[in-house]
A and B are shown apart, each in its own frame.
Chain A
Amino acid sequence: MELLSHDILIVGGGGAGLRAAIAIGEENPKLSVGVISKVYPMRSHTVSAEGGAAAVIQPNDSLENHIYDTVSGADWLADQDAVEAFVKEAPEEMIRLEHWGCPWSREPDGSVAVRPFGGMKIERTWFASDKTGFHMLHALFQNSLRYENVTRYDEWFATRLLTHDGRCQGVAALELRTGQIRAVAGKGTILCTGGAGKIFPFTTNAAIKTGDGMALAYRAGVPIKDMEFVQYHPTGLPGTGILITEASRGEGGILLNKDGKRYLQDYDLGQPLDVSDANHPRKLTMELGPRDRLSQAFELERQKGGTLQGEYGDYVHLDISHMGQKKIDKKLPFVRELCKNYAGIDPVSELIPVRPVIHYVMGGVDTDIQAATSLPGLYAAGECACVSINGANRLGSNSLTELLVFGRRAAQAAVRFHGETGDIATSEIMAQGEAEQTRIRERFFKPSGGKETISGIRAELQSAMEDGAGIYRTDESLRTACNKVRELQERFERIELADHSLTFNTELTTAIELENMLDVAESLVHSALARTESRGSHQRTDFPDRDDESFLKHSLAYRTEGGDPRIEYKDVVITSLPPGDRVYGSK
């Protein structure tokens, strides 16, 4: 086996990975960077983000405001030192992206425009129409092309971290075109592989969001933090789960139950203003409440019988028709296109059917404020990581900015580590790469005699997660989910692949993804079972209150060999904001 080698490796070519690659190009263009991604970078899921990216820019706003909104939005589970660093560095990162060509929407005077978003006190969401993630990703990707020190491994799928002497020294990756596993060495490795929404049935997430980086770290002994916190976005299309951006509410869209009532007023989110009122939409109120509270309101309204029923389950209506065609075409053209194509309706004159759908995993690989994990040489940034700035509930438009701030921080930390650490243990790393080649071949290409299928196990996993670890959870529902995940892990051993080709074997990649999904699901359901309180997106009907005494803590799930994960806790960092009440819709 030939050993490929770089100074620093980045796994994942989405927003965080590309920002990290560019940061290394800027820090030290002599360092060689390898970007390993299972898809071409511009296919990464950052591309699907719509609404915008938060950073303080208005003169009437302040860093303190953004910090407070983020911490209270997170139900006080965010680390405040991380939030402070994030908020402080956010504006410069956004301007930098502007300098790299991102086509931000503008005010008449040519300055960057911002829009309101849920849970945010003041307008601070930068946007590029309603395709913000798409434009950010392409600006980053195209800008990355100029750096000759960056080598891309497009359509290479990392399957294992290579560790020796207590540090991460590279990855084993499957080159899809040839079916070969290669060992790729690097003194620093940064995981930027995104979230894991595909472990649930209805999600805004793309097919590639299978928790790969989380699973890699988990198996290498690195804890996965706060996995019980999973965000439902209140407005996805039923069936497909396609995202209808929060910007549609930021621009004035309203949510209606089956009787046409703005039902959010019944769920402690304040009183509605008429859509013609100059103060509509009022920030931190009604439709501009945070995502966890809006999704929970949907579920309670459903139990009350206020939702509508359709082929893909219950739904409510999102109405943006009062904005008129001109504003919709200017501010929300993609929403209109998606509704026409995938819901068969035109939101200029019709109501959009929506339901809460899985959108974002707040938890992820446990990192410190420099994006470093507990394994020397391993870093993580973006949705696959948990710093944590998102705590128990992420505010819309913080995650795109997070990619930039922590992608850059991870790169800087990896560059420092590169300068301090010893040489790569070449022969050990290669031996591990060869062992991984053998494992993959034997595990997936040898007849197992089993009858289990990838799609069968995946569907059962997804429905177990929705039933057991959905918007509301109980001890019983979570125990059932834990048992089911264990059963599916055992049954996964008996899957049999029909495809033994070495050329672009997507049945093999799907199987490896499912293996990752099962591990991520395991960490999630056990963390949720152990947290006997309700906080943010984690709502236990058997423990309905927040319990700061016992649970103002991050949960850390450690993988154990053959058993349930071990759950430990560490304190949340509080600097200036003692835990308080989350108040929305106040007068």
Chain B
Amino acid sequence: MSTSRHALIVTIAVVVLSIALVLFFVNVPVVPKAAATQAIPVDNLFVLMFSIASVFFSIVVVVMLYSVIVFRSRPGDEEDGPGIRGISWLEITWSIIPLVIVMALAVYGGLALGSMVSSQPQEMEVKVVSAQWSWQFEYPQYGITSSELHLPVNQPVLLKLNALDVVHSFWVPEFRIKQDAVPGIETVLRITPNQEGAYTVYCAELCGLLHAYMTGPVVVASQAEFDEWIREQQEID
């Protein structure tokens, strides 16, 4: 069989496998249901990058499997194969194409990050205090403190993260992005929850013995329900 025939079969197999994998990643959810506007660019990036990765993975696996089967040496054949040391245009191409792809991904990622960290109009501030091994949430404009994080839906929130003892990290998987809380400085995380529901914040930086259990309830509710909760908390305090 000629080289071009081998190449044709491999190309078809790569295309088929790539399409199958891309269809999988586009249709099967591999992340929890998104509940914040910040999750949208993150999830788009995942689908895009898994698709690109699928193409490269398919090339590697198909070429390798094909070679192992079709180019296996016959028993007793002690001869060497063809003495091909390289093909310059091919080597240049497979250096340039990945370079262009990764640089484009970096630009896209940078723009997405910019949109996620820029300050929003009328942000509600919540101060998050993390300590071994629990979370406290302070609402300065309402004068209350709670061990539960309640947020009104579609309201941009500016979380100001503090750590009293060691490094902790604030993470609600449905919101996607996480941020470490660091002793000695205040770090910030901007979240705009857009799905009502009950979630959990998990500490995502190993912080000692009970790190696994350092969680807190997160409730995203309508503005009315949130205001009601605030009133209840103010009565308690």
| Chains A and B come from one and the same complex | no
Q: Which residues of A contact B (CB under 8 A)?
A: none
Residues on B close to A: CB < 8 A?
Answer: none
